[in-house]
Amino acid sequence: MPVGKRRSSLLRSPQFSSLVILIVLLAVFAIADANFLSPLNISNMMAFLPELGIIALGMTLLLTAGEFDLSVGAVFGLAPVVVMLLVQNGEASIGVALLAGLLLCVAIGAINGLIVTKIGISSFLVTLSMLLVVRGAALYITQGFPLKSWDQPGFFVTLLAGSFNVGSFRFYTSLWWFIGLSLLAIYVLRYAKLGNWISAIGSNRNAAVARGVPADAVKVWLFILTSVLAGLAGMISAFRISAASPVAGTGYELEVIAMVVVGGTALTGGRGTILGTIVGALMLRAIRNGIVLIGVPGLAYNIFVGVIILAMLILHALLQKNAARG
Amino acid sequence: MEVLRLQNLQKSFGSVRALKNASFALNEGEVVALLGDNGAGKSTLIKAISGVFPIDRGDIYVRGEKVSIRSTRDAMDLGIETIHQDTSLAPDLSIARNLFLGREPVKLKWLGVFAPLDLAKLRGAASALLKRVGISKKLDADALVSTLSGGERQSIAISRAMQFAAKVIILDEPTNNLGVEETHGVLRFVKEVRDAGHSVLLITHNIHHVFQVADRIIVMRRGEIVAEQTVADTDLLTVESIITGADMSALLKETRAK
Ligand SMILES: Nc1ncnc2c1ncn2[C@@H]1O[C@H](COP(=O)(O)OP(=O)(O)O)[C@@H](O)[C@H]1O
Ligand SMILES: [Mg+2]
């Protein structure tokens, strides 16, 4: 492909248009309120970003394969709650409890994946039911009360929620997790054999199966991955704020899916972009943070967020149409 | 030389007997057309050969050896490549990635599914292939399949089957939904595939196409093979009446006599 052609296709790609919008949004917020780019505010945004961002990485791969997961917000809540209960009841050390929590996430993801692929029920219905089961379980085992989280310093706390200063910025280790996992996800989706399979499955499952691609196994593993990432994000969050609440992560499933599709990944499968998802995660974070700073009344937040998401989706749809014609 | 032989294949879906005792053989370097009305069992027959689902009964021989085909991968490993009716390509992937889907060239093989694609090799092989089949001038190996026309997609699917030196290439209704020009392109391509030494099983219900490319004709009705003739020995009207079942007995006698 000639360089000029490749460049123009990059310029027209969904992740690029998302990036442009992100920069515009950042500029608008920065001009409207000088505090937006202050070290404190940037540190704040960067503390939240990885927690939803990590889930969004798994969701991007899952969406690219043509499925999605509505139970991630509930898993985000349940995993740390289970970890803390195990520790508080003296049944396990913190390390073992974390492992048990992650294994629980593996089980939840596997159940989602097996029901979707082997019984053939849509992932919407399966994971919606799972959302209720998982959230219900979190509420039941805690009797609805938040638990005080592990707050003694140690290896795992540093690993998941340690913080460090860069100049006057304060970052959490979760940012490293997000960066590392993002690089891995980019590699898998764009450069690995597995990524080729994931895109093919979402684009035309029958075609992929006819070429010997194990479509169901790939999907089950992606459900597991997404669940595990949601659980990991929940643990990171619980450690950071030293509390595990059974209602933590409520509504995150939609926020995460919004990040992914705003970044340009197709809800219908086949076209996924991790770079787009990173841009999408930054964008939603910046919007939620920026509209507070510029003084939009709290109850009106979601109007803004919703309108911006819609605008982004319309933009992607128009670009897609254009590309198909051109 | 016989490449593929099917003996008494049977397949039922619940109470529907889609295949009842289907038998035939395919020789090296010939195009055999499989004809029959909608629901005759053509797709079922080729899905059985290509490993989409297991057969209930019967034997399959490849080059005289009895084989068991339990998955699409088994069929591909035996040199049987199928281009299914409902497009076999992933529209969101590039031509190159489609050509090697499921058989991607990789570096660091020990990484398994996480192994990186050998993109240079992928692109190089794809361009070479497109050139070999004479469609490189128009098509870029990096172009997305979703930007191609129906005929171009069929050509890509057929090229993919050829590249793995498949002994048998099965085409299920390859000219469905194609324009006149594109249809001719695909039929020309089928002849080239045969001339390159592959055997082709062509499923269609367009008799005119059959007389343009096929060497032999097999007709199915209600899960059975009711006639088998060389194209040189028959004509359009005769075949048409076999398909629809008009004056069956006389024609069957004629077939059996041969
Ligand atoms: N997966 C299936 N489940 C149930 N019945 C099927 C299935 N596939 C095909 N059939 C039935 O088997 C018969 C043969 O179908 P098919 O092989 O698709 O015919 P053709 O390709 O010749 O039009 C039809 O009666 C069809 O309804
Ligand atoms: Mg058919």
Q: Which domains does chain B have, with CATH numbers?
A: 2-89+166-257 (3.40.50.300)
Residue A2 reports pLDDT greater than 50: no
Nearest atom (ligand 1) to Cα of B85 = 21
Least CB–CB distance from A210: residue in B84, B92, B93: B84
B22 lines ligand 1 (CB under 6 A): no
Q: Which domains does chain A have, with CATH numbers?
A: 3-325 (1.10.3470)
Residue B8 corresponds to which tokens in the numbers above? Answer: 């008494």
d(CA B151, CA A190): 28
Burial class (CB in 10 A: 0-12, 13-18, 19+), A287: buried
DSSP B105-141: -BSSGGGGGGPBB-HHHHHHHHHHHHHHTT-TTT--T
Residues with Cβ within 8 Å of residue A319, at least 6 apart in sequence: A12, A14, A17
Question: Which of A 161-190 lie inside 8 A of B, CB atoms?
Answer: 187-188
Least CB–CB distance from A192: residue in B84, B102, B113: B113
Q: What is the pLDDT of residues A17-57, one digit of tens each?
A: 888 889 998 999 999 888 898 998 999 888 889 999 999 99
Residue A3 reports pLDDT greater than 60: no
B43 lines ligand 1 (CB under 6 A): yes
Residue B140 reports pLDDT greater than 90: no
B48 lines ligand 1 (CB under 6 A): no
Nearest atom (ligand 1) to Cα of B40 = 22
Residues of B in contact with A270 (CB under 8 A): 90-93
* Amino acid, res. B112: G
Of A83, A76, A99, which is closest to residue A147 (Cα–Cα)? A83
If you average pLDDT over every residue of chain A, what do you get? 89
End-to-end, the C-alpha distance of chain B in Å comes to: 20
Q: What is the pLDDT of residues A85-113, one digit of tens each?
A: 999 888 888 899 999 999 999 999 999 99
Nearest atom (ligand 1) to Cα of B42 = 22
Residue A309 has what DSSP assignment? Answer: H
Mean pLDDT of A141-169: 83
The more confident residue out of A104 and B232 is: A104
Mutate which of B101, B103, B108 to disrupt the A interface (most A C-beta within 10 Å)? Answer: B101
* Tokens 């032989």, located at residue: B5
Least CB–CB distance from B93: residue in A193, A199, A206: A199
Atom 27 of ligand 1, residue of closest alpha carbon: B39
Question: Which of B 46-105 lie inside 8 A of A, CB atoms?
Answer: 50, 52, 71-73, 76, 82, 84, 86-93, 97-98, 101-104
Residue A4 reports pLDDT greater than 50: no
pTM as predicted? 0.85
d(CA A107, CA A202): 23
Residues of A in contact with B147 (CB under 8 A): 324
Res B89: pLDDT: 92
Q: What ipTM goes with this model?
A: 0.82
DSSP A218-253: HHHHHHHHHHHHHHHHHHHHHHHHTEE-TTTTTTHH
Using a pLDDT cut of 70, give the percent of chain A over it: 94
**Residue A162: how many CB atoms within 10 A of its CB?**
17
